[in-house]
Every structure is written in C-alpha cells, then in structure tokens.
Amino acid sequence: MKLEKEKFYRILAPRPAVLITTIDKEGRINAAPFSFVMPVSSNPPLVAFASALPRDTLSNIRETGEFVINMPSEGILDKLWICSEKLPKGISEIEKASLSEIKSNIVLVPRIEESFGWLECVLEFEKEAGDHIIVVGRVVDVEVKDIFWREEKLDVPKAKPLLHITGKDFVVAERVVKVD
Ligand SMILES: Cc1cc2nc3c(=O)[nH]c(=O)nc-3n(C[C@H](O)[C@H](O)[C@H](O)COP(=O)(O)O)c2cc1C
C-alpha cells in the first residue's frame, strides 16, 4: 500500500517515547512526551530530538539552555499522556499527572523520579528542518536505576520502555531476541 509521504514516520515505528523536562527562566517546570528522538554522537555524547512549533519545551530550552530526557516505563503511560496535553505556560504537567520531581546532578532542570533512566543535557545547537526544529543536546550526566541495568545493558524486559506507534498507540518492549 502506498502512503502519503507526510506520514512516512508512521512506518519508522515504534520509536522510543521519552518525557522531556525543561524549566523557563522563572524556574517553572514543564514536561512533554517526544518520540522524534535519536542519539547522534557518542564522543562527544550528543542526543537529538525534533520539535514542532510552538512548544513550551523548545522555548524553555531557548531560555535556559538545558533539558532532561526522562525514560518512561509502561507503568506511567497514562501519566505520559497527561503530559502531552497543551497546558498554559507555567502550569506544571508533572503536578497534573501526579509525577514526582527530583533534583538532577548537573542541570537545574529536575528529573522525573518515576523514570528508569535520565539524560541530563545542555543545548549544543538547534537547526531548522522542515516543519520541525532539531534540538541537539550534549549529555552531561546519564543515570539508570540499578535494577534495570544488567551486564552493561538495559534490562529491557524489566524496564518495559514505551515505544510510540502514533496517536494513542504504544508498544511495550519486553522480548529480547539474540543473533546466534
Ligand atoms: C508519544 C508522543 C510523542 C510525541 N512526540 C513529539 C515529537 O517528537 N515532537 C513534537 O514536536 N511533539 C511531539 N508530541 C506532541 C507534544 O508532546 C505535545 O504537543 C505537547 O503538548 C508539547 O508540550 P509543550 O508545549 O509543553 O512542549 C508527542 C506526543 C506524544 C503523546
């Protein structure tokens, strides 16, 4: 079946769904899910996501130069969904979703405690790309909850990362297959 070209990303799926936290210059926290996300360099460690416009996430990053990529598990899917609601700037999605903020190690932007891991990032650069802005961040701290880290790898069946298909459809990654 041929698809509309604009929908190509629907077969480049499922994609990891993350929750990005940011703060504005007054220190008010914001959280939103993103799935146009990818690693771009390991040394230096760089990660990218693509933001449509307008997004409080993007305007906060432009104000403060920092963000945290929080890795959500299946258990907080409903809360992630609440964070995708368009709330007035300054109203905390984290509070609305009953998620918990915890201090980050390096950046001022808080982490979401209920995640299985965190990438603390500082803005490296941004680049316009079609109807999105690619935001590239330098990872300045990375941490995973001990119980989800096994033999130098993420214990995927335990962490149950959320992957986005499109709209309200997600996949929970649970089964590992190995090459012989
Ligand atoms: C699973 C999921 C993935 C999303 N991925 C993206 C994305 O990659 N880029 C984007 O601009 N918006 C994405 N969105 C939409 C934003 O999360 C949504 O517009 C949100 O309200 C933006 O919040 P903000 O204005 O506080 O940044 C996604 C939504 C969901 C539910």
3-state secondary structure 88-140: CCCCCHHHHCCCCEECCCCCCCCEECCCCEEEEEEEEEEEEECCEEEEEEEEE
- The helix (H) or strand (E) run that includes residue 178 is none
Residue of 70, 139, 65 lying closest to 99 (CA atoms): 70
Of 10, 38, 55, 166, the residue with max ligand 1 atoms within 8 A of its CB, to mutate for a pocket test, comes to 55
Look at residue 10 and give its three-state secondary structure: helix
What is the residue with the minimal CA distance to atom 3 of ligand 1? Answer: 34
116 CA from centroid of ligand 1 (Å): 20
What mean pLDDT is reported for the chain? 97
Q: Which two tokens stand for residue 90?
A: 């300054």
| Ligand 1 center from residue 152 Cα (angstroms) | 30
The CA distances from residue 117 to 23, 30, 70, 73, in Å, are 19, 18, 6, 10
Q: How far is it, in rounded angstroms, from Cα 75 to Cα 90? A: 26
Enter the CATH code of domain 5-172.
2.30.110.10
Residue 174: what pLDDT?
81
CA distances from 58 to 12, 78, 81, 109 (A): 23, 23, 19, 14
- According to DSSP, the residues that pair with 166 across neighbouring strands are 169
Q: Output the six-digit token pair for 37.
A: 């996300």
Q: Kindly give the distance from the C-alpha atom of residue 18 to the centroid of ligand 1, in angstroms, as a whole number.
A: 10
Percentage, residues of the chain above pLDDT 70: 100
**How many angstroms separate the alpha carbon of residue 36 from the centre of ligand 1?**
9
Ligand 1 neighbours, Cβ below 6 Å, are 17, 30, 32-36, 49-52, 55-57, 84, 86, 164
Q: Which atom of ligand 1 is nearest to the CA of 60?
A: 27
Centre of ligand 1 to C-alpha 153, Å, is 28
- Rounded CA separation 64/3 (Å): 39
Q: What is the domain partition of the chain in residue ranges?
A: 5-172
- Report the predicted TM-score, pTM, of the whole model to 2 decimal places: 0.98
Average pLDDT over residues 15-40: 97
pLDDT of 173: 86
pLDDT above 80: residue 94: yes
Sorting pLDDT into bands at 50, 70 and 90, what band is 91? confident
Encode pLDDT of 40-88 as tens digits: 999 999 999 999 999 999 999 999 999 999 999 999 999 999 999 998 8
Q: What is the pLDDT of residues 125-151, one digit of tens each?
A: 999 999 999 999 999 999 999 999 999
